[in-house]
Amino acid sequence: RSESLTSNAFLTEEAFLTEGSASNIFVFKNGVLAAPPKDHLMLPGITYDVILEIAEANAIPYQIRKIAVAEVFAADELLLTSSTREVQAITHLDGKPIGTATPGPLFQKIHTLYQKFKREVMRAQ
């Protein structure tokens, strides 16, 4: 599933991404998945942790670091994650296309792996 981001994305005073309203946002650029660090400006999400576990287990390069707002708009792909929305591709932000403006290969891979995780791990407990 893809969507234009209709919820808010929160930024620090220095214009770094923190989170979405009731969601987390991941940036994918040049083969690397980036996530904002957990800190006092962000409510950590369960799905945030699961996505990072999936990346680790499947050799998807990732970084946890500050993400400048310019990087968000220059991303190859953006992912929105939450317990209720699971994993979604953000194809447009503020009316501007992100990457090819279609769900990309990283989204397809992460979405498939997340569904597998739900079937095999979450439901098994």
Cα–Cα dist 32/7, whole Å: 24
pLDDT at 74 over 50: yes
**CB contact at 8 A, 50 and 121:** no
CATH of the domain at 83: 3.20.10.10
User: Which domain does 93 fall in, by range?
Assistant: 2-122
> What is residue 19's predicted lDDT score, i.e. its pLDDT?
46
Q: What is the dihedral of CA 105, 81, 78, 106, to 10 degrees?
A: -10
Indicate the number of domains in the chain: 1
What are the tens digits of pLDDT across the range 105-115? 999 999 999 99
pLDDT value of residue 92: 87
pLDDT at 55: 97
Q: What is the pLDDT of residues 10-28, one digit of tens each?
A: 444 554 444 444 578 899 9
How far apart CA 2 and CA 5 sit, in angstroms, is: 9
Instruction: Tell me what pLDDT residue 83 has.
Output: 81
Out of 19-23, 55-59, 82-86, the most confident range is: 55-59
